[in-house]
Amino acid sequence: MTHSSRFSSSRFTWPARLLHWSMAVLILAMLPIGAAMVTSLGHYHALVALHRPLGAAILVLAIVRLAYRRRHAPPPLPADLPPWQQRAAHASHVALYGLMLALPLVGWGMLSAARYPVALVGPLVLPPILPGSPALYATLRGLHTVLAYALFGVVLAHLGAALMHGLIRRDGVFTSMASWRVGSGRG
């Protein structure tokens, strides 16, 4: 009953898939790097020095991805997917995009408020985006933690939904993102 087949342009285009998977790797690395920074005493500086440029890369890629998405609409979800699941998919994607933009901006903003230089690689240093303020730093530092946990939660739900599509419904949603072949047609 649930094995609806999806024909024309049933896959994300290859640039959309490349962006999805490279960002998934970056984000899945950032969560434990951030957690290790605040829980272990060792390697703090090396970890933060990695955390800043990876976070900045996520911000740039998220903007590129949203701009690309406006011109290349994603494939539609299967018509027989219950409406609440369509809404949940949409809401979770909005949350994922929002958090991919908000977390790096809050990270950048909190270091600006702490008057701490946001050094990326080599001589590349981002300018402050907020005035120096200990109170603002404290608020944004707390927000960064809350948003990181929220992202982790939504990623877990997303993973569960992807596996539900791939293993139980087998409705083509999983392969629309997980197929390796170049091109965007039937796969």
Total number of residues shown for the chain: 187
Interface pattern 87-126 for ligand HEM (x via CB under 6 A): --x---x--xx-----xx--xx--x------x--------
Nearer to ligand HEM, 142 or 182 (CB): 142
Contact 52, 120 (CB under 8 A): yes
User: What DSSP element (H or E) covers 118?
Assistant: strand 118-119
Tokens encoding 89: 């998919």
Contact range with ligand HEM by CB under 6 A, out of 1-9, 49-57, 132-140, 179-187 = 49-57
Nearer to ligand HEM, 137 or 182 (CB): 137
Q: What is the C-alpha separation between 52 and 103, in angstroms, rounded?
A: 11
Mention every residue, 6+ apart, whose C-beta is less than 8 A from residue 120: 52, 53, 56, 126
Name the site residues for ligand HEM (rule: CB under 6 A).
20, 23-24, 27-28, 30-31, 34-35, 37-38, 48, 51-52, 55-56, 58, 69, 74, 77, 89, 93, 96-97, 103-104, 107-108, 111, 118, 144-145, 148, 151, 155, 158-159, 162, 173-174, 176-178
